[in-house]
Structure 1
Amino acid sequence: MTIILYDVCSNTRGVAWSPSTWKIRYCLNLKGLDYKTEWVEFPDLEPLYKKLELEPTVKNSDGSPRASIPLIYDPSTKIYLTDSVVIAEYLDKTYPGPSIFPSNTIAIQSLLETAYIVHIRPIIPLVMPAACDKMNPRSADYYRVKRVEALLKVFQVGDTLPREVYWTQYRDGLGEVDKWYSKIDGPFLMGNTVSWGDFVVGSCIIWLRVIWGEESQEWKDITSWHGGRWANLINALQKYEKIM
């Protein structure tokens, strides 16, 4: 049976940009599962949750609930799931195939995600406004009003410094992540074995590729940093990029 992956649409048909959903898309493709993407606009997420009688698991900075992605529906078990780690763990326990958390590493890899976010916070004030350019007008308007300022608060980062300061801080933050990868040979955190941590890192990097484009100076910079580490990672993850 076909799993439904809900994702926020872009203004280019069939192009996925959300890093939250990319993590789950990577997982589904790793497992070789049959799925299809159900595209929705940002303002339609809350009505969708109400229609499906779902309780949001994410909260706004003021503590109020917020309908969010990723969200999947598995018709084989008749279950809806949100929250990326919860979904990934469910897929790993429910379906055979390559493990998303090899060698029972779910606990440590969940902590890794938190650490990674700390290192990449400086990119938020640069990419959030640019992300609006990839959305349809309804979603872009919603995103500007409801999400940009809120996410700056969540990530505890301002938006008043010169662009080059944030860019340098982001490069240096990725440099700390590069040290993790440098501990072992191979493109992935576990050498030649892909895992959840790589999907977390890769989803945020592919986000920037979609937002700025492969011909942009930003993308050229990122792929040149740290000995080409991030270009190599994205190339190694390419087999899991299929959008269905």
Structure 2
Amino acid sequence: MSRRSAPRSPPTVITLYDAPGAGSQTWVPNIWRIRFILNYKRLPYRTVWVEFPDVERTLRAIGTPPSSRHADGRPIYTLPVIVDPTRNAQAPQILSNTNNIAEYLEACYPARPVFPEGSRALQTLFVHYIQEFVARPLLPIMVPITHDQLPERTQSHFRGASRSRTPMPSSSHPLPPGPQREHAWQLVKEQFDFLSIILDKNVGDGDGVVAQGHHLSYADFVLCSVLLWIEQMASHDGWARVREWNGGRWARLRQRCHDYMDVF
């Protein structure tokens, strides 16, 4: 007589949907932001790994709202996504879009805030600067390097997808080592130099490493997410130089965030 196994109960911790790099390596900057918040707030969670070809199908299956929409109204499904059953197991919260998730976690789990009182506006400006003037110049360097280190199935997906429908272009035009790539790194360094000047204004009122003076905040996690992308995907050509810039300031920031880098 065969035994019928009992139905598996749904998880009672937050689930974070992430895209793997080599093995189960987390690397996407926007997803690192959410992982940092979960770890910093000491919220129990688990990771579900979803390769890029499976993102839309997987997220539709669990009822995820689109992250955004194309100009013609078609939904766009991207990671990160979290499912939070801890507040209502019968109707778990399912959230997409990095900013929406960050706001939700801060509102629902206010202990150990990542937006200390009175800091939201300035942090928002800081994050905007990182996105537009630090991360964007990195794309011509980092996207091809990253593409070549993703699972083969994911690489094939991006090679076969149209540019209008994929969040990552193919590596058909990488910047080869040489003057062109060095120039691109120099443009990135100029932005880090500017950030360093801004953070120097905290010296005396803070430690000169974190944006809020003494305590880690969302702005630090956003910047450190970019640093980890460089470290994980371009350790020799990228992180080896970035960690030395501005007197080692970015290596010190990474170290300050180290306790919140766990992957569950």
Aligned runs of 1:144-159 on 2, under 5 Å? 144-146=159-161
Q: Which runs of 5+ in 2 are unaligned?
A: 1-11
State the Cα RMSD in Å. Answer: 2.4
Instruction: Tell me which amino acid in the other structure corresponds to 1:206.
Output: L
Give the aligned partner of residue 230 of structure 2: 208
What's the TM-score once normalised by structure 1's chain length? 0.88
Match for residue 54 of structure 2 among 44, 47, 51: 44
Q: Does 1:183 align with 2:201?
A: yes
Cα distance in 2 for partners of 1:19, 1:230 equals: 16
Which segment drifts farther, 133-142 or 225-234? Answer: 133-142
Q: Does 1:172 align with 2:172?
A: no
Give the aligned partner of residue 3 of structure 2: none
- CA-to-partner distance for each residue in 1:117-150, whole Å, 9 max, x for gaps? 2222221011001112321111122234548786
Q: Does 1:92 align with 2:106?
A: yes
SS of 1:134's partner is coil
* Gap change, CA 1:60 and 1:224, over 3 Å in 2: farther
- Count of residue pairs brought into register by the alignment: 237
After TM superposition, where is structure 1 displaced by more than 3 Å over at least 4 residues in a row?
A: 59-64, 143-153, 158-161
Cα distance in 2 for partners of 1:147, 1:203 equals: 27
Structure that is richer in helix per residue: 1
Q: Does 1:223 align with 2:243?
A: yes
* Gap change, CA 1:201 and 1:63, over 3 Å in 2: farther
What's the TM-score once normalised by structure 2's chain length? 0.82
* Gap change, CA 1:128 and 1:58, over 3 Å in 2: same
Q: Which runs of 5+ in 1 are unaligned?
A: none
| 1:49 positional shift | 2.1
* Gap change, CA 1:145 and 1:209, over 3 Å in 2: farther
The one of the two structures with greater contact order (alpha-carbon pairs below 8 A, sep at least 6) is: 1
SS of 2:243's partner is helix
* Gap change, CA 1:126 and 1:37, over 3 Å in 2: same
Cα distance in 2 for partners of 1:4, 1:209 equals: 25
Which segment drifts farther, 168-177 or 180-189? Answer: 180-189
Give the aligned partner of residue 102 of structure 1: 116
C-alpha contact 2:64 2:96 (8 A) present in aligned 1: no
C-alpha contact 2:65 2:94 (8 A) present in aligned 1: no
Give the aligned partner of residue 216 of structure 2: 194
C-alpha contact 2:65 2:95 (8 A) present in aligned 1: no
Match for residue 26 of structure 1 among 36, 44, 48: 36
SS of 1:102's partner is coil
| 1:66 positional shift | 1.7
Percent identity of equivalent pairs: 30
* Gap change, CA 1:222 and 1:145, over 3 Å in 2: farther
SS of 1:103's partner is coil
SS of 1:111's partner is helix
* Gap change, CA 1:94 and 1:208, over 3 Å in 2: same
Give the aligned partner of residue 113 of structure 1: 127
Cα distance in 1 for partners of 2:198, 2:82 equals: 31
Give the aligned partner of residue 155 of structure 2: 140
